[in-house]
Structure 1
Amino acid sequence: MTSIKLKTSLPGPKGLAALERRKNLLPAGLARSTDVVVERAEGALVWDVDGNQLLDFAGGIGMINVGHSNEKVVAAIKKQLDKYIHTCTLVTTIEPYLDLAELLNSVTPGDFPKKTLLACSGSEAVENAINVAKYYTKRNAVLCFEGAYHGRTLLTLSLTSKYALFKKGFGSFVPDIYRIPAPNMYRGIDGMTEEQYINYCIKKLDESFISQVDPDSLAAIIIEPVMGEGGFLSMPAAYLHKLRQVCDKHGIVFIADEIQCGAGRTGKMFACEHSGVIPDIVVTAKSIGAGMPISATTGRAEIMDAPHPGGVGGTYGGSPVACVAAIESIKILQLESFLKRVNEVGEIIRLTLEGWKEKYPLIGDVRGIGAMRLVEFVKDRNTKEPDADATLEIIRDAVAHGLIMIRAGLFSNCIRLLPPIVITDEQLAEGLQVLEDAIIRAQEKRKL
């Protein structure tokens, strides 16, 4: 039995009609990575409006780790809807907000008192983290990294890298933001060992505190322990420890953006746990809500308590419907059995991708951690020149054959694999075969 079952071409007649409506009703700037028009979704499967059954390897950009329409999450939402929808935490106290905050305070790294502020999006959570850090330190400067993605609000867009895709035309941006290169083990410096390259990156970090900003002026350093949009770049443990040391020495707030790499995706509840580095603030969103719009800023109590009463919050932050969904999602995400499955899925993908790298010159690198995996495509393995055209071609081919996918990487030349962890081995193998077939066709076209 195959999981992918196509009744029409993609998109089909109903899908084409919906896409035409989208074109006429929604802004052109709201792009999409596929032409799939969804009718329903469950587990790792998506059905479109024409009755086609597809496999999902994008997971809402890492939003559906526990699977589409998870039964426990759906049941919790329905139960809450029968009680009340929302009364606003700025007006009343909502117990699901307290329950979720208590849970997040307990599961995030660090054996110290913590507090949690809830919001609706990852951008809001990052912005809350930065604002709280500024208030606490009484400083304005923030250090971030090339390739990072932190959101689309004015402040978070200022932090985000990849100018042409995300920032072009939206300036001017927030001042006192400093950006330096992040370690990229695939695109390191020729002739250097990994250790030498990491030491070089640490040296350049120290130099940036002379050439760009005095560390005593920094309110926060924000980093994704594994970059998402930047191309699934795992930050070396030594580099994260260096950042932690700098923060400790100069009273800087260390913020870990775990929006995409957290929620169990890497085989641990939080990606920073792989290094042993404990942030002052952890930012979460995406899969903690299992599809519901919710995010969290969880940090040291003394930092989170810094703003004056009324200084933080929002109308919809901590919606009880979203909170109960997140509670059920996190209960699943932190289970040993779930994290074990993450590593099983990741190992299947890793072995498959490494086999592809041996066979297909179009693939420059395969990397990732846990079930957060990626393929990077290049025109030449020696020069490592990115091949964004081939990447887009492969995605379109794979989608046409029933596999939902999305790009990543600073050069848009990577395909990220973020299937729901509830995916079966059979579904995983089927999806990987669809992707491999698309790679083969792209390579044959280029006669590599």
Structure 2
Amino acid sequence: QEIAIAFMSQYAAALAHNLAKCSPGDLDMVFLGSSGSEAMEAAVKLAERAAGSKRPKIVYAENSFHGKTKGVLAITDGSLYRADFRMADNVLRIPFADIEAVERTFRSDPEVGVIVLETIQGGGGIIQAPAEYWHKLRALCDQYGVLWVADEVQCGYGRSGRFYAFEHYGVVPDVTALAKSLGGGKAAVGAMIARREVYMKAYG
């Protein structure tokens, strides 16, 4: 049994409620934190737990940036932030926007349970994948039972012209994360938003 100690706030509750209402599909379970890294830590932890112990591997992309805290540092590409630390060994790196690499990885390794991708790569140079990539990714995740975490910390909350950048492509991930523009320069806030089914599988 888990015991949670929390200070309830009507404002935090209203924010979580409104984020759930603004999110497509069944993305309606919200966790609030103080940064993008914290939101991504929560997203990856939830997805990894929901995927289960038999599928511990996490796929991430070249040129990715998901944060500088210890957990997500393992899926942040490059030596600039990682050089002095020991990284988790359950991660697999593939090229960004290469759907054949995704399919090859899913097909060849049944231990893959999660894929984490920025919808628009920010730290890597504002790199976008073609629209068909996201449609094929969603189909492959469904086919192989892999959970898709969409990192929208830099590109989400209206920065692309839609509430979420993935909405341009008509697809919905299993888990996503927001920060940066969510606080509008006024507050340190991040949010993880997950599909209810995935959340309950992890923590229900």
TM-score (norm 2): 0.90
Query: Which amino acid in 2 is paired with 1:101?
Result: A
Shift of 1:302: 2.2
Change (3 A) 1:306 1:95: farther
The correspondence for 2:87, drawn from 173, 177, 183, is 173
CA distance in 1, matches of 2:96, 2:51: 24
Indicate whether 1:284 and 2:195 are aligned: no
**Equivalent in 57, 66, 74 of residue 141 of structure 1:** 57
Q: Does 1:159 align with 2:159?
A: no
The alpha carbon displacement at 1:178 in A equals 0.5
- Which residue number in structure 2 is paired with residue 96 of structure 1? 11
Alignment partner, residue 202 of structure 1: 99
For residues 13 and 105 of structure 2, the distance between their equivalents in structure 1, rounded to whole angstroms, comes to 41
Given candidates 259, 264, 267, the residue that maps to 2:161 is 267
Give CA deviations for 1:23-74 in whole Å, capped at 9, x if unaligned.
Answer: xxxxxxxxxxxxxxxxxxxxxxxxxxxxxxxxxxxxxxxxxxxxxxxxxxxx
Distance in structure 2 (CA, Å) of the matches to 1:225 and 1:142: 17
Structure ranking higher on relative contact order (CA contacts 8 Å, 6+ apart): 2
Q: CA deviation at 1:259?
A: 0.5
CA distance in 2 between counterparts of 1:262 and 1:146 reads 20
The count of corresponding residues between Structure 1 and Structure 2 is 198
Distance, in Å, in 2 between the alignment partners of 1:206 and 1:120 is 35
Letter in 2 for 1:98: A
The C-alpha deviation readout for 1:310-366, integer Å capped at 9, x for no partner, is xxxxxxxxxxxxxxxxxxxxxxxxxxxxxxxxxxxxxxxxxxxxxxxxxxxxxxxxx
Q: Compare CA radii of gyration and give the structure with the larger one.
A: 1
Q: CA RMSD in A?
A: 1.8
> How does the TM-score come out when normalised to structure 1?
0.42
Q: Is the 8 A contact 1:123 1:152 kept in 2?
A: yes
Secondary structure, aligned partner of 2:115: strand
Cα offset, 1:308, TM superposition:
4.3
Task: Write the letter of the residue equivalent to 1:169.
Answer: D
Moved over 4 A (4+): none
Q: Which blocks of at least 5 consecutive residues in structure 2 are unaligned?
A: none
Q: For structure 1, which runs of at least 5 residues remain unmatched after alignment?
A: 1-88, 184-200, 310-448
Q: 1:246 and 2:161 equivalent?
A: no
Question: Residues 168 and 275 of structure 1: is their aligned pair in 2 closer, same or farther, counting only changes over 3 Å?
Answer: same
Query: How far does residue 218 in structure 1 lie from its aligned partner after superposition?
Result: 2.1
Separation in 1 of the partners of 2:119 and 2:31? 21
Asked whether 1:107 is paired with 2:2, we answer no
Secondary structure, counterpart of 1:159 in structure 2: coil
Map 1:11-410 → 2, pairs under 5 A: 90-110=5-25, 112=26, 114-138=28-52, 139-163=55-79, 165-170=80-85, 172-183=86-97, 201-209=98-106, 214=109, 216-291=110-185, 292-308=187-203
Q: What amino acid is aligned across from residue 87 of structure 2 in structure 1?
A: F
